[in-house]
Each structure stands twice: as structure tokens, then as C-alpha cells.
Structure 1
């Protein structure tokens, strides 16, 4: 690839920017995105414009490209194929194959086109393919990129498509006409346009459109509006039909003109593509960096949340500073408290003035009294002197004491209380403070007086100072002794607070560090974003391009040379490194050839319908009536007549229920119209069947052309809406609140694809509520002309429960009621139970799938359920229809689709299916004489072949069971007549002996029947249920791998959607809902298997009882009664209330989308989820086991008792008749004649059946 763009000035600045981004990405170790920049650089340097075609598989991408190229270069098929990226360009002929693990290979001509197409399908070993052709269809310097279907079930396919779109200058998104409204279309195109990509939308295969179903203008408007609502800003929407080029709405010429303009403006698009490509790669790098940071950020944010408090870095720093200061304060608190108290105490003591003038005067008087020469009076002088001295001491003591109380004690007490309150002292210590006082005696004053001291001023002052000092010491010591108790408390508080604050400080330091690291990660992303933005938006400088560096980076790889040996279709001649692929190519070619030879039953030539079955049932009815008339001639046999006439009536008035199943837009309604021979049901590319629709034969109350519309009750529609609201985490208590929530949901949109259908339902229900609320629970009678307004308008149809149309047509004249069910992809949980009811009770099931989109997830769920229960059906009543077979481009393609369908059905345990490829559109045209339009390769619709087999099934196989049952009853009547005739012809003695023996035999038979019961029935039932549930668990966990892939898929888990936690929770919810639904479906199937087991056991009981009863009379003939109708319990979906916390460990394994889908993380998460599911699944199955036992054990006892009662009636009738035959009045000749007539009727039937 030469560097053509070096000479193109507009591209040089962008190449310089690409080198800059390449080096930036290399520097940070992002090799993946650096390689993408290198790819973009190579493409830009070569001046190559790339136009990418994306979309669903089978939407027609490859066919469209083949049409553009004018040759079938790329494989195209209506069935999904493994695929990789294929680039087609104009130039010298070669094919380059780039492998995931091996060096690239270049194939030189001549090469085998079939093997090239096989390589295009190999996504396992091949990364992408480049095909260069000498063609004028596209100009030099332009490449067409074909991508895998974005709805592929293989995660790697979607990732491959997304990973290549940075190279696309323009994207054409291709959709199939019938799947425009698919969720993935909106998501994918919205993502592209948001990234700045120029996107053109193409709706292909518009030849499927029928104006009589929906005006094309309305379809165009609906499609345009749908993308507008999603905010998809597409450059244009094209409508195409490759199959019908002359279609009036085909815009092929407009598309071709658009492409020519793109090619002409190539340089402009190259610059735009360079810019958007770099932006996309930069965005992907930042998304991946964000995803790489996300687990660490989530972990750190989670820890910050756990730590609590402030979450701002600055506030956290302030909090840390505060805590450090507080801790330091508490660490010094005991010493600081004591130091502060001592200082305050000293201040109080120092300020205490204990010796005012009055006290000092009394001190002086006391000192004078202590002088040796102090004497009072003459008489009794000694006593009086001591008395005076004591009086003066008392006066001094009281004065000092009063001063000490007011100057020291009060203040120190307040000081102690203040400290106590400040340090949260306990109540006991505070009580001590309140009562604190210092007791001291007069001896303190007397003891301080010095012997011989004078009373001069100096001596007085010295004495009073000593007294004050001594008192202060007393108060100081006492106060400090009391404070010591508080100091202990402060020390304990400090120790506790130090421990708490140390922990808090440790957490605060951790939080500050985490917030700093989070800010650092954010800053790192912002720094890279700014660097990329600066690089991309900087003014262009052509001179900045280093041509030598560019030449090194864009140098082509070394290609191994290889060639195909076209003449023999052998493997390519290649070097050993690619031999293994060549062998695989050959195997692919052989497999494709073999597959084309398989043809399904019913897909070949038409088989004429047989009327024999109908004649046999009519013959049987006639013979039963004839036999009844004959039996009514004898009183002894008259009891057989009424049951035979009833069976004859039922054979003539037989009614069949035929249920139609399939995903929306599979063509169920269209097929129903074809079977009916008239367009009675609306059919549209948009989902229309929101209710159960039935087409029934007219009756007296419902003439042809009328319909009965049953509106849901208020409780039903309330339950439906609340179930949908719960998908968004909402719950409402009133209708007003419900409607407000509907409006809020409509504005906010869906977070997960699974929510989108619920948005549409809630929007329709909210819009139609005012109109329909007054009709809740109503049953309306309308004409056909009014019906479409009910069933085609979603704002009305979502309120309907059932619609019954009464139509006189060939199908209903056969006694058929046709039930058109809601799509198997219906979001209404109630429809699951309805579907199972029809699956179980319908006489025939028609499963319709669409030719171009054979198996949706909903299809697979339904077929899985069908495979579960098919063995419980008495007859194979399943028919499979591939509709729209007129879309086939060749017989080989049609055969391939039929083979694929056979294989897929076999995967669900449905082998040798009745499978028919047909066109319901053509079939309706055939029946109405209308112009069928383009028919493709088909010469007829294929419906006659299906109808021949289908009506043969209804009239022969289904009737056979009823006919055989009727003839069994007739044979019993014949044998009874023969026995009565023989008894009537016996002698009187023989009759007497026989009567006596009969009395004894009858008594014994009654005893046998009275004691009838299945002693081991309950134990056998429990054992059967245990075994069935064991395999239920095995199957559910076996399917978990697929369920997990569908829930945790690349469409939902994307690195550009921000933090993954919410998306992961949605994925988990979807997985749990799927597993819960799967378990409920398995239980429904289990109930059917249990019933089959019990019916088989009842048949054994019947055989056993017949054997016992015949021991007493060998001529006794008994027939089994009508099958007992077991009532199956209802099964709610499992896991609705399972605690999501048990899955936290599993979800924490997610890092980012790339590592999840391309490495081993997906497997590890699936295994963790599986382990977490075991306990709730076991609990659910244990609960359901008890329900199954409870439901069926009692019913089985009832069924056994009913069997015994039915046999007792037959025995009594037989015995009573036989006793009468032994009477003298019995006419043995007449009885023999009746027996002969019955024998003749049965013999004629045998002869006709054999012929």
C-alpha cells in the first residue's frame, strides 16, 4: 500500500496527528488502540476511502455488496454463518487473509471463489480478509467493508465489527424490512451517530411490503419516527429491494447516486474520516482506561462510602487535621487537666484574702492572750485568764473559718464542679464536690503561736501569714485529693477517646489517601483527554509530518504466497504454517456440498389430500347409529345404544383446535389468512397480536362476519402494567401514579434492552387508558369491518384479552378453530401459561418461523419447551412452517435453510419434524385469485402440500383415536350380545346353576372393586417426581452457559456506558428472570410428564383389574373409561425474590468489556453465579416437589376410585343383563340376530380398512 496521501496536503496534518497519537498510546502501553491508529494511518496514507456495511445477519449486506460489485463475491445466506471482516477494493487480483495467530497469506489468481467464500465464513482462525479485484464497479482508492451481523450470538463477532469501525469513513446500516423495529438497530446506530460517524440507513427487502396491510407511506413514516425518537441523526434513510428492482419505492438509483457522490468527494470524506477515526480511537482508549480504572475506583469509592463522612478531598483534609488535633488533645488530657486544675487552684488560693482587719484584730487579741504576762482580774485570775484566752481563740477561729469558707472553700468547690462538668465526671464524684468541705480544728491556730512571741506588728503579720498558709495547704491537699478521683476518670476517658480517635484518624488518613488516588485517576483521564483533544483540534501543520517515520509505520507486512488449485478444488498450495486452515477450507467445502442435498419432508412436491380419513369417520358414525338402532331392539342391550349414538354424534361434529405459534413478524397471521382463504387477520411488519385471536366456525349466536372482543378486567391490565413498571424499579398504588410513571419512563428511556418492549407497552397502555378504562371486563360484539380498529391499534389491543372471529370458510367447515397466539416473544407473563395450555390441549400445533431470520431467542425458548413435552403427546401433532420461502434466491439456498432448520430442531430434541417451506403471501393470492407479485424460484406457494398432510392428520390420525375407541365399545356390545344369547339358550338346570354362580361371582367382583386401589401409587409418584426434578436441575444448569451469554452480552456491557455496576445488575436481573422462567417452564413440562406417568399407571390398573374380574367370568368384556382429566398446578417463575447480595462476589469479577469477553473473566463469573444459584434453585425445586405431590397424589386416588366406579357400572350392567338373559323370557334367537348384525358391521369395517 503506497503512501499516496503524502502528496495530498489536506491529509498530511492528520497523518502527523496520527503519529503523535500512536506514540502517546504506545507510551502508556495501549498496544490495541495504537495498532488501530496504525491501521488508520495506513489507510489514510494510502488515500483509501472505506465505506462500511453493517447490520443484522440476513439483512442483505453481502447481497447488496455483491450487487454493487456485479458478481457473487461474498457469501450471502438467509441463515446465520460465522463471519469475519471482509474488505473489497479495486486493484490487481489477489486475496489477503489475515489470521489471528499466524502470519498473513496472499493468494494469487487463479483461486477458487467457493473457497474464498468459505474463508469469509471462518471467524475462528481468520481476523479479516482483503479482496482486491480488477473491477470498475468501485473506483481505485475506495474499499467496501463487509462486517459480521451485529446480532450474532457469538460475542466476538459484534466486537470484531465494532473494532473495525474506526476505519470507516461512512457507514451504511442495513436492516431487513420485517425487523426495522429491533432494539439493536437503534442502539447501534445511536452509538455511531453520537461518535460523529456519518450513517446512512437502508431498509432492505421492501418487496415484502403489502399496501393492503399497511400503506407504504405509513411504514416509511413509522420507520423514520422510530429512529427520530431514539435520537439517531442519520444522513438519509433508503428503501431497497434487490429482488424486485422495479419496485415503485425502490431507491437503488438514489443509493447509487449517493455512493457516486461519496466517491467523488473522497478527499473531503478522508479528512472527515481521519478526524472521526482519531476521535473514536481516543474515545475508546478513554473508555477502556475508564473501564480499567472502574474496578479500582468502585472498590475505593465503596471503601470511602463505608468510611462515611465527607467525600470531598478538601473537606477530608480538614477532617484529618481536626482529628489529629483532637487526638493530640486527648493524649495530653490527664496531665493537662491536672496542670490546669493546679494552676486554677493556686490562683484561687492566692487570691483568697483570709486576714482582713477584723480577723487580724482578733488574731492580735489572741496573741496577746497567749503572752505569759496575760492575766485577767485578781480573784480567780487563773481560771478567768484561761477563759478569756479560749474566748479570744474561739473568736479568731470563727472569723478565720468564715473567711476560709468564703474566700477558699466556695471558690474551690466551684472550681472542682467546673472541671467535673468539663471532663464529664460521674454523678458520684460531682456529689462529693457538692458536699466538699475542709474540716480543721482550733489547734491549728494555737499550734502556730511561737513561745515568747511578742505582739508587735511584725510578729502579728508573721503569725497571720503562717495561719493563712497552713489553711491554704489544708484546702490545697484536700482539693487535690478529690481531684485525683476526677483525674482517674479523665485518664480513662482519654484512653478510650485515644483509641476511638486513633481508629478514626487511621480511617481519615485512608479516606484522604483514597480520595487523593481517585482524584489522581480522574486527573490522569482528564490529562489524557486534554492531550488527545489538543492533538486532534490543533491547527494542521503539513510540515510537522515526519515522512520517514510514516514510511516505517505504514510499511506493509510480509505475506506468505499461496494459491488455490481451482481445477481440482483441492486445498491451497501453502507453506506449512497455514496448512491447517487449508484442511479446514476443504472440510468446509465438503460440508456445504453435502448439506445442499438434504430436503425436508413436505418441502418437495405436493401430495394430494386424502378424503379417506373423513369417509372412515363418517362410515364409523353411520355404523354406530345402525348398531345403536339394532341394540335398542333388546332391553338387555339398550344401555349400549346411547353411548354409541353419542360417539357417532361426536365423530360427525368433530371440532379441532389448531394453535399457531411463532415470533412477531414470522407471518403467523399471514399464514392463518392463507389457511382461511381470506385476509381476516391483520398482518404487519410491526407486532400486532397482543391478544389471543381465534377464528371459529359460526354458530346460532354468532353468524359469519361477527366477532367477539373480550377486554381485560381492571385487575388484569393493572397486573400487566405493574409487572412492566417493576422492570424499571417502580411500584404504583393508584392509576394516576401509574400514568405519571409511564410518562416518566417514556422520557428517561431504557437502561437495558430488555426494558424497551415494556416502554412500548406502557406508552400504548397510558395512551389508551382514558378510552378503554370504561370498558374493563366488557365483552363486545363487533363486525369484521370494526375489528381492525381494535386489534391493529396498539393503544387498544394491549387492553384486549381475547378476540374470536366467526367465519364460514373451508377450514372452519372442517370443524377447525384456529388460534393465533401472541408472539412467543410476548412480554406478558400470562401468555406463557396460555401458550402452555394450547401446547398441551390443542389438537395440532403450527410453529411458524421466518425464512430470513430463522431462530430468535424467543423461538428457541418455545422450541425448548416443545421439545420438553413432545414425548407426553399421544400423537406427533407438531407442524413446522418456514414462511416467506418466496424470498429464496435459489433451490440450493432453500435447501440450505431447510437443512439448517432440521438441524436446529434436532438440537431441541425434535427429530424427523413435519417441516414445510412455503409462502403464505402467494398462498392467499392463489386462493383469492389475486396477483401474487414476485414469487422468486417458487412455482407455487407450497401450501397445498402442507394442507394435504395437515388435513390428512386431522381427518385420519386424530379421527383414528376416536374411531378405534368407538369400535372398541361396539365390540364390547357384540361380545356381550353373544354371551347373553348363549346364556339364554341354556337349559333350565344350566340357567339355575349359572344364576347361582353369577350371584357369587358378582359379590366377589364387588369386593375386588371395593378394594381397588394402588397401594404403591403414592410411593411410585414420589419416586417419579424425584427423578424428573433431578433431571430438571441438570438441564437448567446445562443451559446456564447459553443463558449467561444472552444476558451478559456486548450490546449491554460496553465500556462507553460509564460505571458498569448498574449494567451488571440489569444483566443479573435478566439472567435470573431467564433461569426463573426456565425453571417454571420445566415444571410445567414436568406436570405433563407426571400426568403421562399417572395415565400409564391407570392403564396398568385397568389391565390388572380386568384380569382379576375375568377370573370370575371369562366372558366379561370391559372397555377403559374416558381418560381422567388431571388439573395441573400453576407455576410462578422462580428466583423472583432471591437475594442479589449472594451474587456480589460474582459481579465483582467484572473489570471491563474487553477482558470480560475476550479473556477468562466471563467463565469465572458464570461459574460463581452458578455456584450461587444452586441453593435457591434447590429450594424452589423442593417447594415445587411438595406441590406436585400434593396436587397429583390426591387426584390419582380420585382417578383410581373413578376407574373402579366405571368398571363397577360396567360389571353391574353386564351381570344384570346376564341374569335377565337367564330368565325364562329372554329370546336367544333375537339376541343372536343382534350379535350377527354387530359382527357384520365390524367385519365390513375390517375389510374396508384392509383395502
Structure 2
């Protein structure tokens, strides 16, 4: 909540910050207290100056770049010679900017890390320097991503552009590749510069210098006499973009330290709630907003799946009846007694009529043998036709119905494979109605009765299998729906944990606002 305090007495303002530092120290947060004291020292010794921290990996050329910008004589080399951030100044008639040369951010030395961190918290802007040959290195891009997510203005400098050779790659193609890479990584930055310490047609050292000097040009509130910024100052730097007022820049730095202190106060509670969310969710997301978005997406999918399964359950009986009707209709229309088979059935019935006999010698024995022979011929042919035109097509249709539901196919395949039709001599003999043998048309009816009995066998087996299909499907849907409900309950637990984190964050924001209100109360 930066505000313009240009009309407030500086001593009163700094006294408030000093008292805030004492409060932080008394609470045990000496790191935040020291940072506030550093800001007080900055305000007292460099009034009116903006600060920019030059950061980057070792050998990126930060010190050499600063020497060229400011005409300074900083020590250079891959190994830092000091654990302190070195200050140089860049000035013109309108602006004064303090540039901080930091050790390499990839240093493992604690003193170097402390110096870099101190420079970053003092800085109003960050200049990330990347070596030309390593601009697409993952380490550089991760740094750019990290700094881009902060509140400070970020300039990305591709240094040593004099190494570029146009015959290998046109500069505009190289520049566009850099821009595309930064965009692909989602890096937010204020400006992109290409620089060199020697002559190069692509050197933007002057533009970088102008951007740095603009950091110290004050921005004042609209609607006041002070709102008129010196046009010559803006024109001198080629910019019309409003820049925060000097005191507002200091207030931004104070607010950053306050934010760190509040996070320090709530660190244990925040960590506890964060671990609770991670334990429940089974994954870690960077922000509460990310987790809430994930929750919304999962909830939407759960609702869609639940509606689908409920609809599927409602339609299950309808589908079962429809399939049953189709299968039974196919069974009823199966031609298992074609002309030749029917003829054999008629021949058998003819042999069963009164008065039928074969020969005169051993007439009874020969007649009995003839009847048995005709019965066997009829049964064998009928069994073959029933298998070919009824059993196999029915099994095939059942398998086709289950082909897209492999979990169901596994359950039912054995049932389908063990289907069989009992076409036996006993069946065909049992279905003969002796009282009807006197009728000339009975042979047709007999064959129809036998075929109907065989179809009935097939129908009973299909009904049993389809009933099993219905039961297994219902169980499967019930289990799936149960799983989705359990997932929904788990998400509700996550939602509850997130709500606690949101409330904790609100408490942190309230404390932060109270601290800042104290600083602003003059």
C-alpha cells in the first residue's frame, strides 16, 4: 500500500520505521529488524537515490558492465573477491541511481548469499545479467522466473553481445529466440537489453543507462501541482512511464520487510496447514489459488462422472431389456432345420407311424434298427445345424456386445464359452407325440417342436448370461460411483484445509496492514 509521503517530515517517517524495527527485534526476528535498519541507513545516506541490484551467475560480466556504465574500476573475475555488495553510482543532472554489484547468486558461500540477499532487499529494481552464450541456460531462466514473480521491476540483460556472429544467425532471429524462450517460461520482466563492453551494432548500453536513471525520476499524485513532472527529465531518458516517488519506493521496501516478518510470525502455523493440504491432496501446489483451481476442476469432473453413472444406472434395465429382446429375436429366427434336416426329421416320424415295418424276416428287429438309424441321422444333422446356425452366432453376438467393456468381458467370457445345446436322441424321442402320428402333417410340426425346444435351451442360457451381465454391470457402476463419492469426500476435506489456510492468510494480511498503518500514522 505505497503512498506518497513527500509532504511528511522525513525524521518522523524514519522514526516510525525505527520503532517498527525495535518491535521486530523484540519479537525475535532480528533479520527483519536489520533489514529495516538498512533501509533507514539508505534513506539517511542516499536521499533521493534509487537502488538497482545487478545479479547473475559467476562470469556473467556484471562488474565489467558496471565499470562501462559508470566509469568505475570494480574488480572482475569468475571468483568474487569480496563478500559485500559493492556500490557504484550512475548520475545525470536529473537522477542519481545506486548500482549494487553482488557476488554470483550461484555461490555456495554463506557470506556471499547474505550480501546478495541484503542487496536485493535494498533494491528498487533488479538487473539480471546473463552471459550471451548461456542466456538459455536453465539456471538463468530459473533466476529470471524467480525475480519476475517478485514486486520489483526486472530488467534482463544479455551481456557480451559482441560475441554474436551474424553469419551464424541473424541478430533479429537471435533476439526473437530469446524473447520466445522467456515467454515460454512465463517470465515477467520490464525490459530486455543486449549489451557489450566493446563496440557492437546491437549494443543497448545507452538504453540500459537511461532505464536505470529513470528509476529515480519521481512520480507524484495526479490532481496536484506536483503532478507535473519535468518534461525535460522525461524526454532526456526517452520515457513517459510514471516512476514511483522516491519515498514511495522506500515504502515499498519497508512493506516487503513487513511481509517477510508477518510470514516469519505465522511460519509454523502456515507450514502445518500446508502439510495438511499436501497430505490430503497427495500432491503439492505452489499457491492456494492453484489448489483451489485444482479442486474446482476435480469437483467438476466428479460431478460429470456422477451424472453419467447415475444416468447409466437408470438406463441399465432399459439396455438390458433391449439387448435381451434383440438376442431372443435372433434366436427365434435362427434356421436350424433347413430342408435337408427337416427331411430327415420327417423320415424319422414316418418310421414311428403304426404299420411301418422293414422286410418280413426278423421284421421287428429290422424295423427297430431302421427307426434308430433314422433318429441318429436326424439328431446328428440337427446338432450340426444348431451349432452352426444358432450356438456359434449367439456366442459371437454376445462377445461383440462385450468387446468394448473388457472388465465385463473377463467376468462373462467363461459363461459364453461354456454355452452348449443338448441335441440328443432322448430329446428327439421324448418330443414325439404318438397320438399325432396318424396325421399326415404332423412330421412338419414335430420338426418345428424339436427346433423350438433347442431354441428354448439357447434362450434360457442367454437370459442367464444377460442377467449376470446386468448384475456385474450394476456392481461395477456402484463401485465406480462409490469411488467418486469417496473422492468427493476427500476433496471436501481438502477444501476445509484450504479454508483454514485462507483464514490464516487473512490474519497475516490483517497484521501486515496494521504494521503498515502504524508506519503511515504521522
Q: TM-score range by the shorter chain?
A: 0.3 to 0.5
TM-score normalised by structure 1 residue count? 0.20
TM-score normalised by structure 2 residue count? 0.46
Task: Flag the structure with larger Rg.
Answer: 1
